[in-house]
Amino acid sequence: GYHRELFENVLEDHGGEPVSGLLLLYPSRVFHVLEGCSSTIHLVIRDLASLQSQGPSALLQDIKVLVVAHDIPTRLFPDWVVAVATSPMTWPSRTIQSQSTAEVIAECLTLGLKLAASVQSFEDDSEDATESIPTVEGELLIPAETINYLCKAEECTSPEDFLRTYLAPSQASLDSGTLWAV
């Protein structure tokens, strides 16, 4: 309901294009891939920052922005997909410490694309897709240790830190290392 209302407000107030992506609801985590124009993504991140600033009573806690990419020629997700995940599976013999954060994020997006395709086929087969949110389990789910790794990764910033960086004026340094006043 939170995301549906947020996206409706973005479309009404700012006339942006509709969003696409994946919202995967775990028992204690949310994995969210959002595709849209840069102003829509900025508004969503700003809303998440204000949500997180509510403290311990906020709907979502420990929010991380994994990737923001601009000027992507085509969307990866055809529509907005929501699914409830059973408990995230664990892979006890697998270690993700040897992978870079970028590789882990790419792996999550790959699993997300496969999961979205699977959920889309479920919704297409379902007679009343608007009333039920599909539940998914198995090898398409992002493993628990991967989600925990990304939540702790220093490269992934909070919405507040992302906005602070995004809105900060750039401070260009000349090759000589000296800046002259205008």
Q: pTM higher than 0.75 for the full model?
A: no
Report the half-sphere exposure of 110 (CA within 13 A, side-chain side).
8
Please indicate, yes or no, if residue 112 is contained in any of the structural domains.
yes
Please indicate, yes or no, if residue 177 is contained in any of the structural domains.
no
Please indicate, yes or no, if residue 173 is contained in any of the structural domains.
no
Please indicate, yes or no, if residue 58 is contained in any of the structural domains.
yes
Question: For 15-56, what is each residue's pLDDT tens digit?
Answer: 667 788 888 888 878 888 888 888 888 888 888 888 888 888
Total domains in the fold of the chain: 1
Question: For 101-138, what is each residue's pLDDT tens digit?
Answer: 889 888 888 888 888 888 777 665 555 544 567 787 77
Please indicate, yes or no, if residue 136 is contained in any of the structural domains.
yes
Cβ atoms of residues 21 and 80 within 8 Å:
yes
Please indicate, yes or no, if residue 182 is contained in any of the structural domains.
no
Please indicate, yes or no, if residue 176 is contained in any of the structural domains.
no
Please indicate, yes or no, if residue 36 is contained in any of the structural domains.
yes
Q: Which domain holds residue 31?
A: 2-167
- SS3 at position 35: strand
Report the half-sphere exposure of 16 (CA within 13 A, side-chain side).
21
Report the half-sphere exposure of 153 (CA within 13 A, side-chain side).
23
